[in-house]
Amino acid sequence: MAEKLWRIEPSGPLRGDVTVRGAKNAVSKHMVAAMLGDGPSTIGNAPDVGEVGITAGMLEHVGMTVERYDGDVTVVPGPVADPSVGKAFTGLNRIPILMLGPLLHRAGEAFVPLVGGDPIGRRPVDFHVDALRAFGAEVTHAPDGIHAQASRLVGTRIELPYPSVGATETVLLAAVRAQGKTVIRNAATEPEIIELALFLQRMGARISFAPDRRIVVEGVERLTGARTRLAGDRIEAFSYLVAGLVTRGEVRVHGCPQDRLVTAITTLTRMGAEFEITDDWIMASAPDGLNPAAVQTDTHPGFATDWQTPLMVLFTQADGMSVLHETVYENRLAYVPALQSMGAEIEVYDTCLGGPACRYHDTAALHSAVVRGVTKLRGGDVTMPDIRAGFSAVLAAAVAEGPSLLRGVHHIERGYHRPVEQFRALGLALRAIST
Ligand SMILES: CC(=O)N[C@H]1[C@@H](OP(=O)(O)OP(=O)(O)OC[C@H]2O[C@@H](n3ccc(=O)[nH]c3=O)[C@H](O)[C@@H]2O)O[C@H](CO)[C@@H](O)[C@@H]1O
Ligand SMILES: C=C(OP(=O)(O)O)C(=O)O
């Protein structure tokens, strides 16, 4: 099969405008939620990304119709033709596990293949499975996936061991049409969770958010189809703001509401970035250079783990020693050797630096980093291991002296909206090559 590569030449400061669309994860999850409706649902402002095609394939496989037109994704629920998400979808993304609840509601049985997603940690699905069992489903593990059966899901009380985004969504998607009331304690509260809950509410679900990470859902018999327009992706927005800062340029990002970026903006401001913020766009620049910082990733409203990789490259261009403590995924610093090969001065540690002890304290997981800046990076031949690490490789290549060759482009294409177009519009000398 042909390999896609990106060749990036030093290009100077990146400047200009970028418009972000809905997040890859958000669009997929709204598509799964739409399976619960009696009629068609339309999700607007969807990005052109590989992830949507993967999820559409899964929905079509079980009998739904998916239409895509100019940023709108319409899901027309139909009778479940096959309650088994095909094994052909093994490992492609993390969406199959979220389909268990909707398939149980619609067909009383389901099989989903082993989920994939980025190799950034162990990423078990035990919270999802335990939650579905609490709703009364019979769930069994097979070597190639998970089987579930339930004549009716019944509302329940669930306390998540950690505020997992995916497990909170599994519970929501099961609870909205379960019999009776469900209470989720220690739920995730990421903006994407709220966005999904609002969509479900439009479909007729009864969901309340209570203090202290508690969500209460009163199950209803039926849901209708609904329309929504996704808010711009906060991960992509942050990544392009950093693209401007790291190259000493200035990028203006349209489409992502400020309230999704509060912690990110404050973190960058502490490092010396200056912001101009309007209702329509956010722009960052650092005319006087950047200071180092100590940052710990966390669940919302903390500093998102998906913002970590661009920040790491920014640390290489900040004047002094920065510290990063990754607390969400034990293996999310696996891309650091790629940056080191381009000259980044980064040391990784298994201890918890720059914040209180996390779940990976006393393990061998290399989840803290100390970064020395300012470092002159050099161009490299780098394989991008996952989507966010991929973006960091592009940023490193953009500030490096000499050309870089980046492999594993499909990772970026899974979740960034038209990245070649966007980067070129900012002035990056990027050539896509197919070998
Ligand atoms: C498709 C999608 O939406 N991906 C996002 C989602 O991933 P995802 O939903 O997979 O992430 P979670 O919030 O569930 O994971 C958080 C932590 O909980 C652990 N865990 C989770 C579930 C479980 O059953 N058992 C368990 O131990 C995970 O290993 C991880 O250490 O939220 C993450 C955290 O914001 C983001 O980085 C991902 O981009
Ligand atoms: C980790 C990510 O995605 P996924 O959960 O789909 O692997 C991500 O979007 O950064």
Residue 354 pLDDT grade (very low, low, confident, very high; cuts 50, 70, 90): confident
Q: What residues contact 76, with CB distance under 8 A and at least 6 apart?
A: 39, 40, 64, 65, 66, 67
Q: What is the mean pLDDT of residues 93-104?
A: 97
**For the segment 310-321, what is each residue's pLDDT rounded down to a tens digit?**
999 999 999 999
Which residue segments constitute the domains of the chain, with CATH numbers given?
A: 4-20+232-434 (3.65.10.10), 24-229 (3.65.10.10)
Model pLDDT, residue 408: 93
Is the distance from the beta carbon of residue 94 to the nearest atom of ligand 2 less than 6 Å? yes
Cα radius of gyration (the chain): 22
Q: What is the mean pLDDT of residues 409-417?
A: 94
Cα–Cα–Cα angle for 256, 262, 266, nearest 5°? 125
**For the segment 290-336, what is each residue's pLDDT rounded down to a tens digit?**
999 999 999 999 999 999 999 999 999 999 999 999 999 999 999 99
Instruction: Return the active site residues.
Output: 118
Nearest protein CA to atom 6 of ligand 2, as residue = 117
**For the segment 189-214, what is each residue's pLDDT rounded down to a tens digit?**
999 999 999 999 999 999 999 999 99
Instruction: Report whether 4 belongs to an annotated binding site.
Output: no
Task: Check: CB of residue 83 under 8 Å from CB of residue 105.
Answer: no
Rounded to two decimals, the pTM is 0.97
Q: Which residue has the tokens 């994407």?
A: 192
12: region left, alpha or beta (phi > 0 left; psi from -120 to 50 alpha): left
Instruction: Report whether 331 belongs to an annotated binding site.
Output: no
Is the distance from the beta carbon of residue 167 to the nearest atom of ligand 1 less than 6 Å? yes
Residue 15 Cα to ligand 2 middle (Å):
27
Q: Is the ipTM of this complex over 0.90?
A: yes
Residue 167 Cα to ligand 1 middle (Å):
8
Residue 1 pLDDT grade (very low, low, confident, very high; cuts 50, 70, 90): low
Instruction: Report whether 94 belongs to an annotated binding site.
Output: yes
Q: What percent of the chain has pLDDT above 90?
A: 97
